[in-house]
Amino acid sequence: MGLSERPDGSGPARVVGLCGTCRHAETVTSVRGSIFCVCRLSASDPRFPKYPPLPVMVCEGYVSVQRCAGRGDGAPLS
Torsion-angle region of residue 8: left (phi > 0), alpha (psi -120 to 50) or beta? Answer: alpha
Out of 11, 62, 67, 68, which residue is the one contacting ligand SF4 (CB under 6 A)?
Answer: 62
Count of residues touching ligand SF4 (by CB under 6 A): 14
Q: Smallest Cα–Cα separation from 54: which of 14, 8, 10, 2?
A: 14
The reply to whether 3 sits near ligand SF4 by the rule CB under 6 A is no
SS3 26: strand
Is 54 among the residues that bind ligand SF4 (CB under 6 A)?
Answer: no
**Contact between 16 and 29 (Cβ < 8 Å):** no
Q: Assess 39 for contact with ligand SF4 (CB under 6 A).
A: yes
**Contact residues: ligand SF4, CB under 6 A:** 18-19, 22, 24-25, 37, 39, 41, 48, 52, 56, 59, 61-62
